[in-house]
């Protein structure tokens, strides 16, 4: 959630860009319970991604990648970490 009212007077520190802008490819990621915040930050830096949604009730996070990123390669980077339970590209209808 954002701290800004409907007039958009201010934003949270995590707000990167207006939602209307084009989105990069996304991954669904489930982390093990014992993963640390530092480990998650390191993984996100590795793929230049950011968490844009989550965790859901099932512990699923959505990670947005840079527009030019290859989601399959980013998913492999997450899967290589022993504390990542699941990492898969989000299939969208508007991309080939």
Output the pLDDT for position 23. 83
* pLDDT of res. 92: 72
pLDDT per residue as tens digits for the range 53-75: 999 999 999 999 999 999 999 99
In tens, the pLDDT along 14-31 reads 555 545 456 899 999 999
59/95: higher pLDDT: 59
CA distances from 42 to 35, 46, 48, 71, 84 (A): 11, 6, 10, 17, 13
Mean pLDDT over all residues of the chain?
A: 83
Whether pTM exceeds 0.95: no
Q: Report d(CA 59, CA 4) in Å as an integer.
A: 26
């Amino acid at each position: 959630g954002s701290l800004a009212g409907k007039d958009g007077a201010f934003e949270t520190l995590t707000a990167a860009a207006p939602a209307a802008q084009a989105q990069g490819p996304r991954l669904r990621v489930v982390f093990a319970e014992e993963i640390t915040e530092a480990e998650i930050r390191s993984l996100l830096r590795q793929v230049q991604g950011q968490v844009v949604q989550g965790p859901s009730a099932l512990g699923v996070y959505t990670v947005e990648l840079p527009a030019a990123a290859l989601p399959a390669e980013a998913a492999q980077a997450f899967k290589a970490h022993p504390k990542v339970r699941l990492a898969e590209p989000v299939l969208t209808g508007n991309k080939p």
